[in-house]
Amino acid sequence: MSMKIVCGLSAGALALAVATSHAQPADKFYVAADGGAAFQEQTSIRNGNSFASAGDVKFNTGFRSGLVLGYSWCRSFATELDASVVRNSINTIGGDNLSAFGARADLTEIPLLANAIYTVPIKGPWKPFIGFGLGAAISRFDSANIPLSYYSGGDPHYRDTDVPFAYQAVVGVKYSVLKSVDLGIAYKFIGTTGHSWNDNNITFQTEGTMTHSILATVTWRF
């Protein structure tokens, strides 16, 4: 093989490698962080052998914060692993205001979700997106001094963890402030199937929880 052919093939391979590197951008992976207010809808009590056998559980406004690891398969479609913490204190259980009894209760959920995200392919720095996710939510109910949740002289705390199925809807918009950095705002809705907690030989069951969150986001692509 002549030197001219070798040089020609080498130049062609180099050109192909350069073209391929431009065709396959290096910023397909991204990490995002979000945080903001979490508004938990009231949910119904659904068992008759707990310290509250009927009525609703009503929540105070809480917070949600999380991290996302994503991969963009193309300009419009990405998949993500989404982990967050959602925490709300509880105002009333079964019509009883907890503060009136010197009691407290909190629900902490840790959703672990796989998301599919569609970004509208428009020109410019704005990136509207929508998506959905499926997974599970580690749900921790933690309370103290709730009437009938413990025996006299016993531990006044009632706490347990369950892991129901979880689903999520996402909509928002991002704005590219740098080549690899986006700032944005997002709405995330997360719902779960029913909860069942057990402590002090008492079972407490509710319908699934539904939480609406308004979040500020920052995304770094690499």
What pLDDT is stored for residue 144 in this prediction?
94
Residue 142 burial by Cβ neighbours in a 10 Å radius (0-12, 13-18, 19+): middle
Phi, psi of 123 (to 5 degrees): -75, 155
Sign of the Cα torsion 45, 87, 214, 132 reads negative
Q: Which residues have C-beta within 8 Å of that of residue 180, sequence separation ≥ 6?
A: 27, 220, 221, 222
Tokens describing residue 72: 């963009």
Phi, psi of 99 (to 5 degrees): -65, -25
**Does the domain spanning 27-221 belong to CATH 2.40.160.20?**
yes
| pLDDT averaged over 10-residue windows placed end to end, the chain, 222 residues | 40 39 63 98 84 87 98 96 98 91 95 98 96 98 87 84 98 96 98 95 93 98 94
Tokens describing residue 197: 């907690």
* Predicted structure pTM score: 0.84
What pLDDT is stored for residue 201 in this prediction?
85
Q: Any idea of the CA torsion for 68, 35, 39, 55, to the nearest 10 degrees?
A: 60
> Using CA atoms, how far apart are residues 182 and 202, in angstroms rounded to an integer?
48
Specify the DSSP element, H or E, that contains 12: helix 3-23
Q: In the chain, what are the domain boundaries?
A: 27-221
Quickly count: other Cβ atoms within 10 Å of residue 203's Cβ. 15
